[in-house]
Structure 1
Amino acid sequence: MKRADYDVIIVGARAAGASLGILLGRQGKKVLLIDKAAFPSDTLSTHHLSHLNYLKQLGVLEEIEKGGLRKITRMRTYIGDSLMEGPRQSYTMAPRRDFLDYTLLKHALEYPQIEVLEKTRVDGLVWDSDRVFGVDVVHNNGERSKIYGELVVGADGMRSRVAEWVQAEKYNDLPALRPVFYGYYEGVHPLEEPATEIFLQDGRIGFLFPMEPGRDCLGLEIHPEEFKDFTRNPQPMFEHYYSQFYRMDIRLKQAKLQGRITGGAGVENFFRTPYGKGWALIGDAAHSKDPSTGLGINDAFLQSFLLAEAIDQYSKGADWKQSMERFQQQRDMQLMPAYQLTLDYIQSVRPWSEKERTFINTIAANPIVWNKLTPHLPELLEHHTKDSPLLWKAVKQEAESLMKGV
């Protein structure tokens, strides 16, 4: 077998792949990033950065902050006409993916041993017996070539071809549960202080992420039986249901859609076995869940850091299988709680009962009572709302968010 051209070949050069490239660059690894897109390039996303500490560790926070983004300092949850709001312990942002991904990729390419192939399709894997040893690519001019690497990392999204080729096993998986649609709108009447906004009404979920001034990412999860009507006439249907959320009929009066409404029948929920002989998976290729909690980018960064650590340990003489088993265990331990919460939350979303509305209205109507109750909400709600799973999940999540700034 031919000698390896690279220490690591990463298929996919967006947030997961580019962040891994940065970390491996610091280790002195010779890395090739391959992507079918040409950067900068946008992609469907909630854009929400749950924790900015990852950007700081990757060395790109300052550049992202200079991108003209609004700093999101609060969280709001609307349950029908009731509102609960609290400050975050630290601000966050929602950057465009063409800006975020390109910034990460540029930073990775500052390391002289890091290279990128854009407009290049990976069409298969190169095998050495039962071990992956490279990729078969189709270049932009149509020419094919084989590129050899000691490790191939699939960072190529939820429908990962790398995962398909290595037959990575799924576990704890559920099919897509709720159709989801997105739109970028300019001119949405802003809040006085930028906030992540979540709307729960009539069994639908809306979310609003402030991006740069004048631009917001609006998301809407609907009932599965509404999907066909949405696909026939997405913009009018999207705006019809979104306008039913609290005061959004007023806030959307001067708003204009940028581009088009995009989305689909929903997002698959799964973990995949993230490694094997000569290969590994990160990002949505390794773990995917419903986007309503806005954790996708954060999860991608976490996996990049964990995999980079495992690769570094292996390079220093640790056993490959043991290093990767530890990587998988750490990944699952850190991601499984939010995964289960997301699934419970999505599966329990339904129209509110009168009892639940009364309970929420009582708390939300009095900020002083809300602030005093916040530290005690978990135990109070667990005792008083056992017959209302959705109420418990929604308010518990809000309480914990306020206390932890997550």
Structure 2
Amino acid sequence: MNHHYDVIIVGARVAGASLAILLGEMGKKVLLVDKASFPSDTLSTHFMSHTGFLEKLGVLEKLEDSGLRKVTRMRTYIGSSFVEGPRTSYTIIPRRDKLDSMLIERALTFPSVHFKPETAARELIWEGDKVVGVTLIEHGEPQGVFGNLVVGADGKNSNLAYWTGAEKYEETKPLRPVIYGYFEGIEPLPEPATEIFLHEGRIGFVFPMEPNRDCLGIEIHPEEFKTMMKNPEESFKQTFNQMYGMKERMKGARLQGKMIGTPGMPNFFRTAYGDGWALIGDAGHSKDPSTGLGINDAFMQSFLLADACLKIDEGISKEEAMKEFARKRDEQLLPGFQMTLHYVQSLRKWTDNEVALFQSMAANPMVWNKLVPNLSRHLENDAADFPLLHTAMQMEAEQFGFKKES
């Protein structure tokens, strides 16, 4: 028996599950499918710059009640110096098995939303040049399901993008490998803070997730990846011990599970939609994880696509609404994309001048907190002399939300 839905969503992680919530609120008949079982982990930056999307999706309170720490500060290290400041809002940093499952549970509170885990999409169903459905494999059996819109939220290697021939643009090859893991026993800071280490051209980070659980990661030089992955836990600890203060703080550290590594994330935009289909999340846009924008970007795309569906219901033509979805997606994502590429491509050992300037600002936090939010005014003329410092401060101003002192 063939079934018809308003929207079929392939991929039930952050992008797909959040879209299902928004469409469920609208009363849309939605089929959400994923080849994975849940709860389960997936490769992720984990970081969210704010909690606004989680609140709108109705999962913030439940996530907070699960024991996640509220992160209210940001600390940046260069060599033996660091600066720390309050964020404009707090954030929480959940593991993906917890976040994705809660989003799915929230979507299923709407009777019009249906979910099929451990179900793979095999191929699209076409009528001429229009996508009208998808063939699914459930328990080894093929089944055709039909919908007014088929959405690919199936990641950077999206099958749906491949089947539709969605073109890539603004493409840059993967730039930097990343290795990360979950640790217990890390000596905490007095107050939870996102910690970023800029050391010898690498980026280290500590994300405080739950009491006695932190996500530690390093974005490394490309030539280091194969060697480090031969003995990832030991290599990771040796490298992370070089970060300011971490050798002492990691003495009692114990890895939970295995180290996770990737040789790099591709950087691109894909065509956002076509006749009967659309792409969201990493399927439509992917970039290096160093700036931690991925989860927020996925949420943003879901909200934009849901808004397009609402406009279609209100009488705006489908083509006009989807064209606006694509335009807004690129308009909102391009600045962060360009900043991320510039940030990663500029990474190297800091010059003596940059270290000296950073240390002088670190010695006076009031100067730092005034300088970061007004980066373009203060450092515009010095960007050529201090390129890495310029980019690092831009990232903090735009992503991590330092408070501006009056």
- TM range, smaller chain: over 0.9
SS at match of 1:267: coil
CA contact (8 A) 1:46 1:294 kept: yes
2:72 match: 73
Deviation at 1:384, TM superposition (A): 3.2
- CA–CA distance in structure 1, aligned partners of residues 39 and 217 of structure 2: 23
- Whether 1:212 aligns to 2:210 is yes
Distance across 2 between alignment mates of 1:270 and 1:187: 38
| Deviation for aligned residue 1:156 | 0.6
Q: By how many angstroms is 1:306 displaced? A: 0.3
Are residues 376 and 137 of structure 1, via their aligned partners in 2, closer, same or farther at CA, if it must alter by over 3 Å?
closer
- The secondary structure found in structure 2 opposite 1:69 is coil
Distance 1:236 1:275, change over 3 A: same
Distance 1:8 1:354, change over 3 A: same
Q: Could you tell which deviates more after superposition, 350-359 or 376-385?
A: 376-385
Could you tell me how far apart the structure 2 residues matched to 1:372 and 1:216 are?
30
In the other structure, the counterpart of 1:316 is 314
**Structure 2 counterpart of 1:174:** 172
Helix, strand or coil at the partner of 2:126 = strand
CA contact (8 A) 2:86 2:403 kept: no
CA–CA separation in structure 1 for the residues paired with 2:372 and 2:8: 48
Mark the runs of 5 or more structure 1 residues left unpaired by the alignment.
Answer: none
Name the TM-score, length of structure 2 as normaliser.
0.96
Match of 1:241 in 2: 239
Greater displacement, 183-192 / 369-378 = 369-378
**Preserved CA contact (<8 Å) 2:369 2:402:** no
Structure 1 residues 376 and 311, CA gap change in structure 2 (3 angstroms): closer
TM-score (norm 1): 0.96
Q: Percent identity?
A: 57
- Among 255, 258, 262, which residue is 2:256 paired with? 258
Mapping 1:5-84, distance limit 5 Å: 5-84=4-83
For the 8 Å contact 1:378–1:399, the answer to whether it is kept is no
Secondary structure of 1:164's counterpart equals helix
State the 1:370 CA deviation.
3.1
Matched, 1:113 2:124: no
Aligned residues of 1:180 and 1:265 also touching (Cα < 8 A) = yes
Q: Which amino acid counterpart does residue 304 of structure 1 have in structure 2?
A: S
Q: Which residue does 1:192 correspond to in 2?
A: 190
Query: Could you tell me how far 1:233 is from its partner in structure 2?
Result: 1.7
Offset, 1:365: 2.0
Shift of 1:47: 1.3
Deviation at 1:71?
A: 0.2
The equivalent position to 2:357 in structure 1, one of 353, 356, 359, is 359
Q: Is the 2:2–2:144 contact (alpha carbons within 8 Å) kept by the matching residues of 1?
A: no
1:31-78 deviation digits (Å, cap 9, x = unpaired): 000011111111121211222111111111111111100000001111
Q: Distance in 2 between matches of 1:152 and 1:404?
A: 44
1:259–1:361: structure 2 CA closer, same or farther, 3 Å change rule?
same
Separation in structure 2 between the aligned mates of residue 37 and residue 135 of structure 1, nearest angstrom: 17
Deviation of the 1:312 alpha carbon? 1.4
Q: Is the 8 A contact 1:269 1:287 kept in 2?
A: yes
1:223 is displaced (CA, Å) by 0.6
Equivalence for 1:402: 402
SS in 2 for 1:402: coil
Amino acid corresponding to residue 47 of structure 1 in structure 2 = H
Per-residue Cα deviation, 1:284-324 (whole angstroms, up to 9, x for no partner): 11111111111111011100000001011112322111111
User: Displacement of 1:160 after TM fit?
Assistant: 0.6
1:362: Cα distance to partner?
A: 1.3
Report the AA paired with residue 343 of structure 1. Answer: L
Quick check: 1:347 aligned with 2:345? yes
How big is the shift at 1:386?
A: 2.2
SS of residue in 1 equivalent to 2:315 = coil
Q: For the residues of structure 2 that align with 1:274 and 1:298, how far apart are their CA atoms?
A: 17
Q: What amino acid does structure 1 have at the position aligned with 2:127?
A: D
Equivalents in 2 of 1:299, 1:353: separation in Å? 33
Q: Which amino acid aligns with 2:363?
A: A
What is the SS of the residue equivalent to 1:20? Answer: helix
Alignment pair present for 1:283 and 2:275: no
Give me the whole-angstrom Cα distance separating, in 1, the residues matched to 2:165 and 2:367. Answer: 53
Could you say which residue in structure 1 is the equivalent of 2:137? 138
Partner SS for 1:230: helix
CA distance change for structure 1 residues 114 and 377 in 2, over 3 Å: closer, same or farther? Answer: closer
Q: 2:6–2:29: 8 Å Cα contact kept in structure 1?
A: yes
Q: Say whether the 8 Å CA contact 1:4–1:150 is kept in structure 2.
A: no
What is residue 267 of structure 1 aligned with on the other side? Answer: 265
- Cα displacement (A) at 1:374: 4.8
Alpha-carbon separation, structure 2, partners of 1:19 and 1:404: 32
1:357-385 deviation line (CA, Å, top 9, x unaligned): 11111111233443454565542322234
**Distance in 2 of aligned mates of 1:77 and 1:173:** 29
The answer to whether the 8 Å contact 1:211/1:217 transfers is: yes
Question: Following the alignment from structure 1 to structure 2, what is the Cα–Cα distance between the partners of residues 131 and 385?
Answer: 49
- Please state whether the residue corresponding to 2:131 is helix, strand or coil: strand
> Is 2:150 aligned against 1:152?
yes
Q: Does the C-alpha gap of structure 1 residues 369 and 58 become closer, same or farther in structure 2, counting only changes over 3 Å?
A: closer
Task: Give me the whole-angstrom Cα distance separating, in 2, the residues matched to 1:117 and 1:290.
Answer: 30
Contact kept? 2:369, 2:404, Cα under 8 Å: no
Find the residue that maps to 1:259 and give its secondary structure: strand
CA RMSD of aligned residues (A): 1.7
What is aligned with 1:328? 326
Q: In 1, are the aligned partners of 2:370 and 2:404 still within 8 Å (CA)?
A: no
Separation in 2 of the partners of 1:367 and 1:156?
A: 43
Partner Cα separation in structure 2 for residue 404 and residue 319 of structure 1: 43
User: Are the equivalent residues in 1 in contact too, given 2:207–2:215 (CA < 8 A)?
Assistant: yes
Judged with a 3 Å threshold, the aligned counterparts in structure 2 of structure 1 residues 100 and 371 are, in CA distance, closer, same or farther, namely closer
